[in-house]
Amino acid sequence: MPQLGLLPRRTWVTLLSQLLRPPRAACISAVGCHSQVAEALLTSQPKPHQEKPNFIIKIPKGTRDLSPQQMVVREKILDMVVSCFKRHGAKGLDTPAFELTEMLTEKYEEHSGLMYDLKDQGGELLSLRYDLTVPFARYLAMNKLKKMKRYQVGKVWRRESPTIVQGRYREFCQCDFDIAGHFDPMIPDAECLKIMCEVLSGLQLGDFLIKVNDRRVVDGMFAVCGVPESKFRAICASMDKLDKMSWRDVRHEMVAKKGLAPEVADRIGEYIQCHGGVSLIEQLFQDPRLSQNKQALEGLGDLKLLFEYLTLFGIAEKICFDLSLARGMDYYTGVIYEAVLLQTPAQAGEEPLNVGSVAAGGRYDELVATFDPKGHKVPCVGLSIGIERIFYIVEQRMKNSFKKVRTTETQVFVATPQKNFLRERLKLIAELWDAGIKAEMLYKNNPKLLTQLHYCENTGIPLVVIIGEQEQKEGVIKLRSVASREEVAIKRENLVAEIQKRLSES
């Protein structure tokens, strides 16, 4: 296929090769603040006054807690993603965290060793879900649903070795959108790519690129290169490692471990250098070997139609047809895609972040049928947003901006400058809560006024209501703006209305 070697190279090729290295920066977050605490506890010497010197407090390998600061970032991202899914008419769905093991086996072949199994405690054999796609297919088959557009946000679990795949968690959150049903070709597929663009643009993650390929083109390529059909999936799994390993290493795996003839591997090596737009599709239609393969031609035909729709959606320039894209999951049958970030918003002193793939998906037309006793087919296409990597970028950006993130939404603080005003404060704060106002007070009988005002400044509460002897005598409350330190007296009975007015203005 020498004619394709002449394709003009683009600048993003260099950028891409950088991105394809393991995400070192992300790795740092894997040993976040909580693990450091655990670490400190691990290395600290037991002292004579310790009650439990051998007790080490930690959380499972590859998992983490999300602190309130992190939860704020997480919620912002999830809100953005879910609102995009809803904009495209998706319905919500929830499935159990674990499934019967037999429902999951054979679905992930190359990866099934990475599933978390539950202990046999005298009941069913269960495993934690490995993704949200297989449970969705199981749900469709079990309820005999022939079409559905659904989204699901939830945790999945994979026993990946942190030393091999750096910066990945064993428990992580996925946001999935899928369209199931018999429809005209490439219309739902194009919408999935549109959604990926909307999410990545909406999160302002910087420039990105979505690599697209088709499993039929991959298989056709394997066939014309001389890969025996029995080795398609194994070679495909090797190819999927191109974002973590060089072609040299992948080729070695194909030849030494998977028993591929070296010349076959080299033929694959030529094809997978090809990437481009619609013109590459046209060129491959003319490729003397590939054009002889029915499957490949079908895939190329669909890709051509897909690019037409992507142009109508105004996103064609974000999409790159890339023959090196393979996708790990066995269940894909048609179009596959993967979004990579090309750069992050450059900021002074910020290290470049290599985060790799942040969203991916594809068409899986046979998966539902594997769950159906009669083998009824429900074609599906979907995508999954990799929240952890996006989370890491947004979190870093917020850290670098030095802006303090509020972890609460409290609007009003109830304070007193005098002793023995607990009962008044309790009555007052209950009034605010009952009016739907977000309010806090200190859980002290007699707190100092300065402590109370400091609390407001530290936690970003904008308003303080102050009740003391003088105010009580006059039947008023002082309302103080924390930012301007201005105070005004307000009639006790007008307090709620005045606060609501102020909050609606801000």
Which residues define the annotated binding site for L-histidine?
131-133, 158, 174, 178, 327, 331-332
Backbone region of residue 220 per phi and psi (left: phi > 0; alpha: psi in -120 to 50; beta: other values): alpha
Residues 6 or more apart from 305 whose CB is under 8 A from it? 185, 186
Please list every residue from 234 through 253 that binds a copy of itself, using CB under 8 A. none
The reply on whether position 52 binds a copy of itself by CB under 8 A is: yes
Closest distance of CB 112 from a copy of itself, Å: 12
Positions 184 through 223 that interact with a copy of itself (CB under 8 A): 184, 187-188, 190-191, 194, 198
Residues 6+ apart with CB under 8 A from 36: none
Query: Which positions from 288 through 317 interact with a copy of itself, judged by CB under 8 A?
Result: 309, 312-314
Q: Is position 345 an interface residue for a copy of itself (rule: CB under 8 A)?
A: no
The candidate with the shortest Cα–Cα distance to 82, out of 199, 255, 185, is 199
Binding-site string for a copy of itself from residue 404 to residue 443, where x marks contact by CB under 8 A and - marks none? ---xxxx-----------xx--xx--x--xx-xxxxx--x
The answer to whether 139 contacts a copy of itself (rule: CB under 8 A) is yes
Q: Which CB, 25 or 405, lies closer to a copy of itself?
A: 405
Using N-to-C axis directions, what is the helix angle for 68-87 and 187-202, rounded to 10°? 150
**Residue number with CB closer to a copy of itself (116 or 247):** 116
Q: How far is CA 285 from CA 5, 201, 303, 329, 371, in A?
A: 16, 33, 11, 27, 36
Q: Which of residues 146-165 bind a copy of itself (CB under 8 A)?
A: 150, 155, 157, 159
Q: Is 359 in the site for a copy of itself (CB under 8 A)?
A: no
State the Cα–Cα distance between residues 416 and 425, nearest whole angstrom.
8
Question: Which residue in 6, 8, 11, 55 binds a copy of itself (CB under 8 A)?
Answer: 55
Kindly tell me which of 98 and 271 has the beta carbon lying closer to a copy of itself: 98
| Nearest approach, Cβ of residue 322 and a copy of itself (Å) | 23
Window 105 to 124, contacts with a copy of itself (CB under 8 A): 116-121, 123-124
CA angle 387, 109, 326 (to 5 degrees): 60
Among 1, 26, 179, 224, interactor with a copy of itself by CB under 8 A: 179
462 φ, ψ (degrees, to nearest 5): -80, -30
Task: Return the range that interacts with a copy of itself (CB under 8 A); candidates 2-10, 236-244, 317-325, 402-410.
Answer: 402-410
Alpha helices in 243-290 (DSSP H): 247-252, 262-271, 278-285
DSSP string, 199-230: HHHHTT---EEEEEEEHHHHHHHHHHHT--GG
Contacts of 500 (CB under 8 A, 6+ apart): 435, 437
Choice between 198 and 287, CB closer to a copy of itself:
198
List the one residue from 10, 24, 87, 448 that touches a copy of itself (CB under 8 A).
87
Integer Cα distance of 191 and 211 in angstroms: 15
Q: Which residue has the tokens 């439990």?
A: 52
Interface with a copy of itself (CB under 8 A), residue from 13, 31, 68, 457: 68
| Residue 67 is a binding residue for a copy of itself (CB under 8 A) | yes
Out of 3, 24, 31, 100, the residue judged to bind a copy of itself by CB under 8 A: 100
Q: Which of 109, 110, 160, 171 binds a copy of itself (CB under 8 A)?
A: 171
Q: What is the DSSP letter of 386?
A: E
Strand pairing partners for 172? Answer: 156
Q: Are strands 208-214 and 335-341 parallel, antiparallel or unpaired?
A: antiparallel
Nearer to a copy of itself, 84 or 209 (CB): 84
Question: Binders of a copy of itself: how many residues, by CB under 8 A?
Answer: 104
For residues 290 and 84, give the distance between their C-alpha atoms in angstroms, rounded to a whole number: 38
The answer to whether 309 and 184 have CB atoms below 8 angstroms apart is: no
Q: For a copy of itself, which stretch binds (CB under 8 A), given 30-38, 233-241, 274-282, 342-350?
A: 30-38
| Residues ≥6 apart with Cβ < 8 Å to 304 | 278, 281, 282
